[in-house]
């Protein structure tokens, strides 16, 4: 007959197991066993489950303008430096639209060019391959929805990961689409993405033209933003170094770098 653990033994066992999970021992390294690797990286497993919070409070006038634009227009282009909260605000608006029934799904896309690696060099299926590139978006989604709800939405296809190269030919209806780090897309890629917009959908492009990882002159974000600024129904919002909400040194450094 198996001996039952005492309450103290059970508590110690759970503490030891959670410690192994945090260190990656249970999953076998950085990516763990390929079949069991969690694209969320175990974030929040040992925290109390976060509930959806309806409202996001803007920290400055330009953040408020961005939130208003995403609620009003079907196409928004947000150009701003690092640390202005552009990704978090876009994800918050997407979650708000999903939770209030304005859209049926959220579609996330981000160019996989930061480290010069191709998707095939990373383990797992498409969602797992894209996870390292989409980590900032996952962090924001986790903060807004909680780990359990986020995982369920990913499994059910309510939140979809769509690499840039897989978007051609699609029509995105009833969706909130977030294209993050859009400065790493060429003009041709951005034109293709913009024309995916379908009925009852919102598309938000975020990026900093000064932080492109592409060769000089290849980024199309600044050109796209300039041309769309005169199109009715499109909002082009520009934040500045004064809108940075990270450490004050970030703004000071960007002023001289």
CATH of the domain at 81: 3.40.50.300
- Determine, yes or no, domain membership for 20: no
Mean pLDDT of 34-55: 47
Note whether residue 29 is domain-resident.
no
pLDDT on residue 239 = 84
Tell me, yes or no, whether 49 lies in a domain.
no
Give the chain's domain count. 1
pLDDT of residue 251: 67
Say if 165 falls within a structural domain: yes
**Structural domain includes residue 123:** yes
Range of 80's domain?
56-256
Residue 64 lies in a domain: yes
- What is the model's pLDDT at position 209? 86
Question: Of 213, 178, 209, 210, which is closest to residue 193 (Cα–Cα)?
Answer: 178
pLDDT at residue 36, rounded to an integer: 37
pLDDT digits (tens, 9 = 90+) for 78-124: 987 777 788 889 999 999 999 999 999 999 998 876 545 455 566 67
Secondary structure class of 233 (helix, strand, coil) = coil
The pTM of the whole model exceeds 0.85: no
Q: What is the band of 188 on the pLDDT scale with cuts at 50, 70, 90?
A: very high
pLDDT per position as a tens digit, 201-237 = 999 999 988 888 787 788 989 999 999 999 999 999 9
**Domain-located, residue 24:** no
Q: Say yes or no to pLDDT of 54 above 60.
A: no
Q: What is the pLDDT of residue 81?
A: 74
Asked, for residue 18, whether it belongs to a domain, the answer is no
Task: Give the pLDDT confidence of 126-173 residue by residue, as tens digits.
Answer: 777 777 777 888 888 998 998 899 999 999 999 998 888 889 899 999
């Amino acid at each position: 007959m198996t001996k039952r653990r005492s309450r103290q033994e059970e508590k110690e066992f759970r503490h030891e197991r959670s410690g192994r999970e945090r260190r990656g021992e249970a999953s076998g390294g950085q990516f763990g066993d390929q079949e069991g690797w969690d694209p969320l990286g175990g974030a929040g497993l040992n925290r109390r489950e976060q509930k959806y919070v309806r409202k996001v409070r803007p920290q400055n006038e330009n953040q408020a303008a961005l939130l208003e634009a995403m609620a009003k227009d079907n196409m928004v282009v947000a150009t701003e430096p690092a640390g202005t909260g552009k990704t978090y605000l876009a994800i918050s608006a997407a979650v708000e639209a999903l939770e209030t029934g304005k859209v049926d799904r959220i579609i996330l896309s981000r160019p996989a060019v930061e480290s010069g690696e191709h998707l095939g060099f990373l383990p797992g299926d498409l969602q797992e391959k894209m996870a390292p590139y989409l980590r900032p978006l996952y962090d924001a989604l986790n903060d807004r929805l909680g780990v359990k709800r986020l995982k369920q939405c990913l499994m059910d296809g309510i939140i979809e990961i769509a690499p840039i190269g897989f978007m051609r030919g699609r029509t995105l209806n009833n969706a909130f689409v977030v294209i993050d780090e859009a400065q790493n897309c060429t003009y041709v890629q951005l034109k293709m993405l913009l024309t995916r917009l379908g009925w009852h959908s919102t598309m938000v492009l975020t990026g900093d033209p000064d932080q492109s990882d592409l060769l000089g002159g290849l980024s199309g974000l600044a050109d796209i933003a300039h041309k769309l600024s005169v199109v009715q129904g499109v909002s082009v919002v520009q934040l500045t170094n004064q809108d940075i909400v990270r450490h004050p040194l970030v703004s000071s450094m960007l002023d001289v770098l």
